[in-house]
A and B are shown apart, each in its own frame.
Chain A
């Protein structure tokens, strides 16, 4: 039950895009069409579900103070947490490569849809951000997996919704200076207000 709550919270209340502004760059750049937005969104869900637990294990067994004690007594006092950023980003970049290769081998059709988006994901702040939040909030392994998956779903939801709105926006008469980026920001703001209403959900 707690896991479901955690999932709902990560999708709606603490939405990666609308509450923390993570992954905004690709969120704004790739949200012109629903189909591409869905492709990128699915890729993000996929990578997040894999990297957050991976980074959890890394944090727990290598980086934390005393985490290396499984390797022997003399390592018990080592604190490597200052290496967190560099290790996390390395894991993410490596996992993205790996996922790309696996998908290419296992399912060429899926690769055709996701392929071009995967390299973009390595530098998507939502991925690194989720891992850092996971550390900050002291999740357990299962919680970290659920959190990774559902923040991905939240991101997917937001980008598909925005893309759908932007597709319709083509037919409306927007002031010249506000076309494109400006109106997109305002719409994202309005979407944020809509998501604010989820805050009341008792969890």
Chain B
């Protein structure tokens, strides 16, 4: 029923296009698989690997990244007509750095132990290519609401990948999930933990395998 032609720059006019129309659903769902920021676009890998030895800090990291991407997309999208093209990178960095500082202070206040584990990697959300990439590619040219959805989509796409990596690393490396000893609970007491999974090497290998599985399913071949 929606006619996209009659859209006016007023956000209130939601009747013109449903709040969750097909196009907007695609904005969120595309980055989950076909256009995943980590496995397809190769963005944001720096932190994807570093924090994933255990599921809990990874979860906090994922939430932080989703929040930062969504809000920075919103802010930049609201400001997109005010920013001169020449200085846009600096403006984007400033906005992202401000949001990351807020996240960092919140984590420090409410999740001090996790904040200790994440240490410098919270700060490194600033240089996470996903954030800058979405600002540059989407928020600079689109309306605020769409930009937030786009940010959420990319954030969730990133989240499931790092959570998957963390799941396997914690399961095989420490034989637990969220610190809960899974194998002890089902009666296998001598499960051999794999030291390689705790070290950085495990993350590379798991991520490589995830990419392989995903590409085998989608049939995408890189030349």
Contacts and interface: CB of A to CB of B under 8 A. Distances in A.
A26 B145 CA distance: 30
A88 B104 CA distance: 15
B46 A23 contact: yes
Contacts of A193: 196, 201
B101 A83 contact: yes
Contacts of A25: 42-46, 129
Contact of A177 (B89, B123, B221): B221
Given A85-B97, A185-B207, A196-B201, A24 B49 contact: yes
Interface stretch (B76-84, B179-187, B209-217): B209-217
Nearest to A119: B89
A22 B199 contact: no
A59 to B, nearest CB: 13
B138 interface: no
A90 interface: yes
B211 A181 contact: yes
A36 interface: no
A86 interface: yes
Interface string B103-131: 01100000000000001100110111100
A176 B45 CA distance: 22
Given A85-B97, A85-B101, A189-B208, A21 B123 contact: no
B199 A21 contact: no
Contacts of A29: 42
A181 B42 contact: yes
Contact of A192 (B97, B101, B104, B204): B204
Contacts of B207: 185
A63 to B, nearest CB: 12
Interface string A164-203: 0000000000011111111111101110110010000000
B104 A85 contact: yes
Interface in A25-39: 25, 28-29
B205 A189 contact: yes
A107 interface: no
Contacts of A129: 46, 120, 124, 127
A83 B36 CA distance: 32
A132 B124 contact: yes
A123 interface: yes
Contacts of B128: 125
Interface in A108-156: 119, 122-125, 127-129, 132-133, 136
B215 A177 contact: yes
B106 to A, nearest CB: 12
A67 to B, nearest CB: 18
Contacts of A185: 204-205, 207-208, 211
A18 interface: yes
Interface in B57-101: 89-90, 93-94, 97-98, 100-101
Contact of A85 (B42, B126, B132): B126
Interface in B166-199: 196, 199
Contacts of B202: 189
Given A86-B101, A89-B93, A179-B221, A20 B211 contact: no
A53 B199 CA distance: 30
Contacts of A133: 120
A82 interface: yes
A162 B129 CA distance: 21
Given A132-B120, A132-B124, A179 B223 contact: yes
Q: Kindly list the 6 A-B residue pairs having the minimum CB-CB distance in the complex, ordered from nearest.
A: A180-B222, A185-B208, A189-B204, A132-B120, A177-B215, A177-B216
Interface of B: 39, 42-50, 89-90, 93-94, 97-98, 100-101, 104-105, 119-120, 123-124, 126-129, 132, 196, 199-205, 207-209, 211-216, 220-223
9 contacts: A21-B45, A29-B42, A85-B104, A122-B93, A129-B124, A177-B213, A185-B205, A189-B203, A192-B204
